[in-house]
Amino acid sequence: MSDFVPETEETEETVNTKPVAKITKEDVIVVDQSFSRRALNNKWYGKYGEDGELLEHVGDDWVPVPEDEQEFLSQLWFEQEEQEKNARKHYDWDEEKKEWIPKASSAADGKEEVNEDFIAEYQANYGVSYDDIYKKMDEELQEKVAKAQKEEEERKELKRKKKAKNHTEEAKKAEGWVDLGDKVHAVYVSNLPRDITDEEFQEFMSKCGVIQPDIRTNKPKCKLYRDENGELKGDGRCCYIKKESVELACNILDGAQLKGHELKVEEAQFQMKGEFDPSRKRRKLTAAQKKRYMEQQNKFFEWTPDKPRNYRPKSDCTVIVKNLFTLEMMAKNAALMLDLKEEMAQSCQKYGTVKKVVVYDNHPEGVVSVTFPTTEESDMAVKYLHGRVVDGRRLTAELWDGKTKYKIQETEEDEERRRKEFEKFIEGGGASSEDEDEEMEEEDVDSDDD
């Protein structure tokens, strides 16, 4: 066992014990009075004199330090030794108190005075006092927080005052007319004749641009003002889609004559009358509604080529066949609608490709529509179907005008009657009037032969 005892107060001291020899298998290391030791990197190292070899304390033995670590540890040893020498220059070791105490400041004693340089050197060797630094940091942080709170309070106060100002009567009188800027492109027209109609006013104002349609009603936003009795007041307003139309109307229509009246046209301004009523505020439009509205406006300015002279609308591809059945036939045979649809599809295939067949079973005229891909095919179907006799009824065939609606909503009585007939049809195993089916088939065959 070695005589190693960890130090508590000193990092270096000379061992004041008798020389003790430690005999190992290979080396003999003797610890004498010139042996000093230090704690480096959480380990204990020692050496003899100034130029001795560094030894590391491992377990209970002192062993030589590996060669690859000698240079690094020697540098650490030297730095710590210099630091201790500088630090002890201003302190004396007190044997009674077992601690380092500052040297006396008396010049008569020949000892160094404790001044700012001494304190600075002490802090450089033993660390820096962070109390003042932390205190300064806390003060700066508190100043920043106080400044931010003050700015936030000022911002809230300014916002509150601005909001209160907008709702006071004095602010309303001071602001007067409201300029909506680029939101609304409108002109105000005065000195209008009292007998002018809405259509005449719209036609007159449309000379300078496209009138904006209302996003909800799709009607032109062109208004004539009236009094409480509904009589015209002689002024009006017109909204355009493009902002350039406002300037054009002010330059061209201002001073124009209309039914003997010289008109005054200027850019419109708006003013809120009365108190604000939230219940009258319109609901905001959805993103889809806004997109559809903008697309509708853009269509006014799209360029489309002129239609050719032989152009025919898409509705001409649909043929309307009437008098093909009666309501009594539909009431007796629940499967007649499906049979007619299949028979018409097969019969019209000779005229072209049949895209769709619709049987309007509730229509009193017995209407069936047949749609073809082209107008040539629909023209041929009209040519051969018009005037044909089926089951003693003469058919009429014509092209669809694209407007007439043939679907008729049945009443509750008709729906109940149809339901009962269908139940009878299901209970009877799907049997229908055989005589009528045979007559329809015979007539259809005869017609095809013709």
Cβ proximity of 270 and 183 under 8 Å: no
Written in H, E and C, the secondary structure of the chain is CCCCCCCCCCCCCCCCCCCEEEECCCCEEEECCCEEEEEECCEEEEEECCCCCCEEEECCEEEECCHHHHHHHHHHHHHHHHHHHHHHCCEEEECCCCEEEECCCCCCCCCCCCCHHHHHHHHHHHCCCCHHHHHHHHHHHHHHHHHHHHHHHHHHHHHHHHHHHHCCHHHHHHHCCECCCCCCEEEEEECCCCCCCHHHHHHHHHHHCCECECCCCCCECEEEEECCCCCEEEEEEEEECCCHHHHHHHHHCCCCEECCEECEEEECCECCCCCCCHHHCCCCCCHHHHHHHHHHHHHCCCCCCCCCCCCCCHHHHEEEEECCCCHHHHHHCCCHHHHHHHHHHHHHCCCCCCCEEEEECCCCCCEEEEECCCHHHHHHHHHHHCCCEECCEECEEEECCCCCCCCCCCCHHHHHHHHHHHHHHHHCCCCCCHHHHHHHHHHHHHHHHC
Query: Which of 69-78, 221-230, 306-315, 408-417 has the highest average model confidence (pLDDT)?
Result: 221-230
Q: Which of 167, 145, 147 is nearest to 155 (CA)?
A: 147
pLDDT in tens, 183-234: 788 999 999 999 999 999 999 999 999 898 888 788 899 999 999 888 999 9
As beta bridge partners, residue 58 has 61
Torsion over CA: 425, 427, 430, 434 (sign): negative
Burial 200-222 (b: 16+ CB within 10 A, else e): ebbebbeebbebbbebeeeebbb
Q: Which of 393, 425, 421 is nearest to 326 (CA)?
A: 393
* One-letter identity of residue 9: E
Q: How many Å is the Cα radius of gyration of the chain? A: 54
* One-letter identity of residue 141: L
d(CA 161, CA 102): 65
pLDDT-based confidence at residue 6 (cuts at 50, 70, 90): very low
15-24, 107-116, 389-398, 435-444: lowest mean pLDDT where? 15-24
pLDDT-based confidence at residue 13 (cuts at 50, 70, 90): very low
d(CA 45, CA 78): 12
pLDDT of residue 33: 53
pLDDT in tens, 320-358: 999 999 988 887 887 888 999 999 999 999 999 999 999
Torsion over CA: 365, 368, 373, 375 (sign): negative
pLDDT in tens, 349-403: 999 999 999 999 889 999 999 999 999 999 999 999 999 998 889 999 999 999 9
d(CA 51, CA 66): 16
**What is the overall mean pLDDT for the chain?**
77
pLDDT in tens, 85-138: 776 666 677 777 777 677 664 444 445 566 667 666 666 665 555 566 667 778
d(CA 396, CA 418): 27
pLDDT of residue 202: 92
Query: Can you tell me the mean pLDDT for 149-175?
Result: 72
CA atoms within 13 A on the CB side of 99: 3
* One-letter identity of residue 422: F
143 burial (CB, 10 Å; 0-12 / 13-18 / 19+) is: exposed
pLDDT in tens, 258-307: 988 999 999 988 776 666 666 666 777 788 888 887 888 777 777 777 77
Q: Is the pLDDT of residue 32 over 60?
A: no
Separation in Å, CA 63 to CA 48, 110, 178, 322, 406: 13, 44, 94, 119, 112
Query: Which of 151-155, 296-300, 308-312 has the highest average model confidence (pLDDT)?
Result: 151-155
Q: Which of 58, 18, 66, 15 is nearest to 36 (CA)?
A: 15
**Distance, CA of 390 to chain centre:** 63
pLDDT of residue 370: 96
As beta bridge partners, residue 47 has 36
